[in-house]
Amino acid sequence: KSKEIVSLFNSEFNKQKISDKVSAHITGCFGFCEKGPIVKVFPDDVFYVEVKPSDVEEIIKEHILGGKVVERLLYKDPDTKEIIRTQHGMNFYKKQERVALRNCGLINPEKIDEYIAYDGYVALGKALTEMTPQQVVDVIKDSGLRGRGGAGFPTGSKWGITLRSPGAEKYMVCNADEGDPGAFMDRSILEGDPHSVLEALMIGGYAIGANKGYIYIRAEYPLAISRLRIAIKQAEDYGLLGKDIFGTGFNFDIEIKLGAGAFVCGEETALIHSIEGKRGEPTTKPPFPAESGLWGKPTCVNNVETLANVPAIMNNGAKWFADFGTKLSKGTKVFALAGKVNNVGLVEVPMGTTLREIIYEIGGGIKGGYKFKAVQTGGPSGGCITEHDLDTPIDYESLSAIGSMMGSGGMIVMDEHNCMVDIAKFYLDFTVDESCGKCTACRIGNKRLLEILEKITQGKGEPSDLVKLRELSETIKDTSLCALGQTAPNPILSTLKYFEAEYNAHVYDKR
Ligand code: SF4
């Protein structure tokens, strides 16, 4: 629909003979998925929501030619009934701080000139011409940026270790193998602002001493792949990628590698094997990729969102970034807010924002006015969080302390109609499907857990099944090789902890 709307605008501008003064462009995602397609009019800063192709003529006649805003297409606050004209006047955006998503919804992702117009490639120029690799590492370290893919390892430390690892050949890898159910943060960044990731890969390459970067992206993201390919070609044509960048003697190439859809390839050692053309299976660490990664060479693997922050940090300074967030979790985090919430979408908030603020202020509360039951963060590796903990500030440590995790940013809200045993079964079904099968605990153990859950939800469960669920979950956590297996039982353990009554109802109240 968006493409159709853009082309209708442009053909109407042609007809009206005003195409030299005004034009319509496609941008990346504004984040407010619930209200798309969105048309934003510059420089008036007017934000139209749920625009249909049939609305185009009216917007042009009334607004563009007549100077009068089309009120019926503006956002109406469901509580106050106030009509809101601008993006930043809406509750959905008021508490957001867009750093990783700064250019999404602002620039045309297929035009390098637009990225450059918003300080694109300035950070790369600064790094290459004014800074040593160690100084770049120090800025990222001082900013407090931690890996946004889930583990939260300090990015500057990872870069520093790779820089210090001996070897003439090193690699930068962007992990774009986003696979959590309900997660689309990385996809949106790549579709909306691919140059930010390329620029960050090059800055990282300079910092660690690599001349080659890989972007490992799942083949199910065709638009992101196509925009990355366009961006790489444009950067090469502008002399920003390839040999002797900015005349500094620094060379850097980027290659795209397509993943075949295995969730486990998001784990960095499995991802590395997959790029090498081997079966995508994790291996034990150490050695860590920073010491021995791709083809045994020092390799730095960073997730898309982590990288998208890098040019902004380099341009604005470490302190600017570190001023967002909490003591140990600096900056912002993007979440894919989904499930039974009014404003489904992509949100970016400073670390330390509470779950209640995200769900009720940004998300507009629970759909249909029903009662909130739980929110799952961290995808299939995470856990559910109940009303009791809704005022927890979101950061790596606080989410772990209440039995969930940050993960890559999936946030699925459940209401009073959701059965929590079903939710646990849904996530386990996913991990059983995605287990690579290398170790017994994960391959067989999770299958047994799923069978028990199926038995329980079919009303055939026994009291002893609840004991088995707990014991087996702990064994799988302790004995699996990689994070997929180690965290797979989390949705069961957290629903058992907070919603044991629902399990009991399935087991004891059978009719
Ligand atoms: Fe494979 Fe699961 Fe073992 Fe990880 S824990 S290596 S996914 S079998």
Structure tokens at 282: 């994790």
Last residue of a domain, one of 390, 415, 440: 415
DSSP assignment of 170-239, as one string?
Answer: -EEEEEE---STT--HHHHHHHH-HHHHHHHHHHHHHHHT-SEEEEEEETT-HHHHHHHHHHHHHHHHTT
Q: How far is the CA of 280 from the centre of ligand 1 (A)?
A: 10
Last residue of a domain, one of 415, 450, 468: 415
* pLDDT value at 101 more than 60: yes
Instruction: Count up the domains in the chain and report the number.
Output: 4
For 385, the 3-state DSSP assignment is: strand
Separation of alpha carbons 472 and 475, rounded Å = 5
HSE of 145, CA atoms in CB hemisphere, 13 A? 35
Q: How far is the CA of 264 from the centre of ligand 1 (A)?
A: 8
Does 372 share its domain with 485? no
> Which regions of 371-423 does DSSP assign to beta strands (E)?
372-377, 383-386, 410-415
Specify whether the CB–CB gap between 48 and 56 falls below 8 A.
Answer: no
- pLDDT score of 479: 97
Does 426 share its domain with 393? no
Q: Is 476 in the pocket of ligand 1 (CB under 6 A)?
A: no
Does 363 share its domain with 409? yes
Rounded to 5°, angle at Cα 178 from 175 and 184? 130
Range of the domain at 393: 332-415
Question: Sign of the C-alpha dihedral, residues 392, 393, 397, 400?
Answer: positive
Separation of alpha carbons 97 and 89, rounded Å = 14
Does the residue 97 lie in any domain? no
Q: Is 270 in the pocket of ligand 1 (CB under 6 A)?
A: no
- pLDDT score of 30: 95
ipTM over 0.90: yes
* pLDDT value at 179 more than 60: yes
Does 12 share its domain with 133? no
Structure tokens at 483: 């994070």
Separation of alpha carbons 443 and 481, rounded Å = 11
Does the residue 467 lie in any domain? yes
**CATH number of domain containing 54:** 3.40.30.10
Instruction: Write down how long the chain is.
Output: 511
Question: Which residue's alpha carbon is nearest to atom 5 within ligand 1?
Answer: 485
Q: How far is the CA of 332 from the centre of ligand 1 (A)?
A: 31
Q: CB-based contacts of 340: which residues, under 8 Å, 6+ apart?
A: 366, 367, 368, 370, 413, 414, 415, 417, 418
Q: How far is the CA of 437 from the centre of ligand 1 (A)?
A: 6
Does the residue 407 lie in any domain? yes
Locus of tokens 């979408």: 345
From the CA of 440, give the closest atom in ligand 1. 8
Q: How far is the CA of 279 from the centre of ligand 1 (A)?
A: 13
Mean pLDDT of 227-243: 97
Q: How confident is the model at residue 510 (pLDDT cuts 50, 70, 90)?
A: low
Q: Which residue among 481, 486, 487, 490 has the greatest number of ligand 1 atoms within 8 angstroms of its CB, and so is best to mutate?
A: 481
Percent of the chain at pLDDT exceeding 90: 93
Element (H, E) at 133: helix 133-143
Does the residue 373 lie in any domain? yes
Specify whether the CB–CB gap between 485 and 446 falls below 8 A.
Answer: yes
From the CA of 482, give the closest atom in ligand 1. 4
Mean pLDDT of 353-377: 96
Does 453 share its domain with 497? yes
**Of 336, 343, 388, residue with least CA distance to 364:** 343
Specify whether the CB–CB gap between 100 and 332 falls below 8 A.
Answer: yes
Last residue of a domain, one of 322, 344, 370: 322
Q: In Å, how far are 9, 206, 217, 244, 264 from 273, measured between CA atoms? A: 47, 24, 14, 30, 11
Residue 487 CB coordination number (10 Å): 23
For 431, the 3-state DSSP assignment is: helix
Q: How confident is the model at residue 405 (pLDDT cuts 50, 70, 90)?
A: confident
Structure tokens at 295: 């083809």
User: Could you report the per-residue pLDDT of 415-452, keeping only the tens digit for each?
Assistant: 999 999 999 999 999 999 999 999 999 999 999 999 99
Backbone angles phi, psi at 216, to 5 degrees: -95, 110
Mean pLDDT score of the chain: 95
Q: Is 269 in the pocket of ligand 1 (CB under 6 A)?
A: no
User: Could you report the per-residue pLDDT of 450-485, keeping only the tens digit for each?
Assistant: 999 999 999 999 999 999 999 999 999 999 999 999
Structure tokens at 16: 């009206």
Does the residue 215 lie in any domain? yes
**Of 422, 425, 427, residue with least CA distance to 404:** 427
Q: How far is the CA of 269 from the centre of ligand 1 (A)?
A: 12
Does 438 share its domain with 407? no
